[in-house]
Amino acid sequence: MQQTNLTIEALNNAYSTGALSAETLILSLAAEAKTQKAVWISLLDETQITAYLAGLKNKSPQTHPLYGVPFAIKDNIDLAGLPTTAACSEYSYIAEKSAYVVEQLIDAGAIPIGKTNLDQFATGLVGTRSPYGETKNAFNPDYISGGSSSGSAVAVATGIVSFALGTDTAGSGRIPACFNNLVGLKPSKGLLSTSGVVPACRSLDCVSIFALTANDANTVFQIAAQYDASDCFARINTPANKSPVLSKAEFTFAVPLPEQLTFFGDNIYQAEFYKTIEKLEALGGKKTQLGFSPMLQAAKLLYEGPWVAERYLATQEIIEKKPEAMLDVTRTIIEAGNSAKATDCFAALYKLQALKKQADAIVEQVDFVVTPTAGTHYTREEIRDNPISYNSNLGYYTNFMNLLDYSAIAVPTSFTEQKMPFGVTLFSFALQDQKLLAYADKIMQSNQLPLGATTWPLTNKTLSTSNNRGFIDLAVCGAHLSGMALNHQLIERNALLVEKTTTAKAYQMYTVQGPVERPALIRSEQEKQSFEVEVWRMPTEHFASFVLGIAAPLGMGKIELVDGRLVTGFIAEAIAQKGRNISEFGSWRKYMATQ
């Protein structure tokens, strides 16, 4: 299967220009999904998908922001007409209607592909606790994918869907994101409805979002975060949290004290974390080291306190009447929840409230707090040998988040020497989702990592697409910009938008007439300007055909960006100066808006 750029912006552009058909793309992706083992529990058949595609008839990319965008749904979230199993066949039921959050996405034009595998009853952070098979990591099948939302993460990483829904009670939407080079947004509790979601710990559960970019996560979040009056845990999304936030040029962030950071003997992850902190400082961040003790104490309450009783309550019927239907490790964890007393519950609530006061005093000192998303990454064999304690290790930086009512986002930041993903988590108070998304985008724009696993040329062994491809970064400044007339030429060649920036203050811009009006960017010694550019990453196998389509007086050369980097891009012969000088506009978009 030829790989397609599945970011929401790229699909919107491709559909808008007619370069791509939603029906062709969705049906081909659905066929590819059938080849993936242990990623999906159930898939829509062609008739079911065609019915959803028919719903696009009176919609368009301009009116519906998720028009024709494929997505996956963790199989503890209802999709009408399909079974919801929570990875336990004896628990399974056919959903009569879709979960409220799924309905919002479908109404916006998104097309479901199927239901994904998970750690049974969303109990686990490993992705191996399922009778439907162990979901393998998208980069190296010897490693765990992370859980519990394992299938959702891998479906996005391997290029079958643009985004996926998971759940995140204790880290299930962040750990798999980290291990598969994705953004994992754990929104503030109650912003995404849990109506139609099989509960784990109902008072703590969150529906989470896996996406290739922070911008895509934000698009999905804005659509999905609609108030659901039928959800007793719903909270209203404030107007301030609905509007995009600009990251500050200078910002503050906190990291735990050195003695409170743990990497469980993983020197590689430890090194990547400190590299990430250095990058944040280079981006304008001022680091503060603050005590992390209240968070760590709160984290212990999740499984050592009475909240396990909520997991028991959620599965009470099957654990009491058919305990053999559960995996041994799942049953062992949940059975412990039946021993808590009411006095234990209140004692834990009092302790948690005191810890939250202490934790809030730490969080309010900075724009956000940064931790590793996980302290290490285990192989599937290591998890089989030590399933409970290693799983607990993975929750070291995640278990406290919902107990303390914080919003969080997992952000990919680097690859290790072994070409495995690494990432950090940013967190802050509830209803700070937009702020965290803005800084996540800032980090991703600076890192310029490949998206998911489908564009990584060295280690992806799970795809039928060609591997070991090279890439070239192209700076475009005019008709090839996102949403402009020739942008489809990049999308057709599987190019990915990796950065929006500006040139160095060293250029002038002139118009070039033709079937499509284009700009000519010329380095100048006088009246130097900087101009908006986008950097797109294109497989080198498609570069030749792209260059052959360039008409004089334009050509390819090196463009200096604002940070001093030289990137391949469009340059022009001096004769282009006979065109209209549009340097005053500062960008091709602004010029075209006047025409």
Residues catalogued as catalytic: 74, 148, 172
- Cβ count within 10 A of residue 466: 11
| Cα 152 from Cα 118, distance rounded (Å) | 8
- Angle value at C-alpha 410, between 536 and 434, nearest 5 degrees: 80
| Cα 87 from Cα 74, distance rounded (Å) | 10
Cis amide leading into 112 (omega within 30): no
Collapse the DSSP code of 7 into the 3-class scheme (helix H, G, I; strand E, B; otherwise coil) and give the result. Answer: coil
Q: Hey, what are 452's tokens?
A: 């998911």
The CB-side HSE value for 328 (13 A sphere, CA atoms) comes to 3
List the one residue out of 145, 92, 88, 93 whose CA is nearest residue 121. Answer: 88
| Cα 569 from Cα 546, distance rounded (Å) | 12
List the one residue out of 215, 217, 213, 214 whose CA is nearest residue 452. Answer: 213
Instruction: Give backbone dihedrals phi and psi of 224, rounded to 5 degrees, phi first.
Output: -80, -30
- Cβ count within 10 A of residue 573: 12
Q: How buried is residue 528: exposed, middle or buried, by Cβ count under 10 Å (0-12/13-18/19+)?
A: middle
Query: Contact, 34 vs 114, CB < 8 A?
Result: no
Q: How buried is residue 170: exposed, middle or buried, by Cβ count under 10 Å (0-12/13-18/19+)?
A: buried
Query: Contact, 10 vs 216, CB < 8 A?
Result: no
Task: Say how far residue 480 (Cα) sits from the centre of its chain.
Answer: 26
Query: Contact, 454 vs 465, CB < 8 A?
Result: yes
